[in-house]
Amino acid sequence: MIPTRVGGRLPAHCTGLGKALLSNAHPSELDRVGDPVLTGSTENSIPSRGRLRREIAEIRRSGVAYDRQEMVIGYGCIAAPVRVPGACASAISVCGPISQICADPRLADHVRVTALAIARALTDASRHSA
């Protein structure tokens, strides 16, 4: 079972959505994530703030975040931040069995493009309501 539910909370550094949201955080905010030593859910979870910073830098560059069996063994996630001017409004993701998530490398592109389309729609809506 994927441990997600509406309104649920999971460690941000162990999930694709959490890392996508953290990609918009100021670097000093990353120091407040979790305990002094990052505790993970699986052996694949990010163990240190240094590695988290490197992964966040890659997410900022690529526009896509991954959960590579970091929350639950056997499951993965591809997520993308929904960025509007001045903020990261939210994030979207696709989750499922790791074999399916990794099966098609184009899936990350679809998630990224969908997040960009949502951001555009939100930006356009806010312009029209102003």
The beta-strand segments (E) located in 15-130 are: 65-68, 75-84, 87-97
Which two structure tokens, joined as six digits, stand for 27? 């670097």
pLDDT tens digits for range 74-109? 999 999 999 988 777 799 999 999 999 988 889 999
What pTM was computed for the model? Answer: 0.88
pLDDT tens digits for range 9-48? 788 889 999 999 999 888 778 777 765 567 888 999 998 8
What is residue 22's predicted lDDT score, i.e. its pLDDT? Answer: 92
- The mean per-residue pLDDT over the stretch 105-122 comes to 94
What is residue 4's predicted lDDT score, i.e. its pLDDT? Answer: 67
Strand, coil or helix: what is 82?
strand
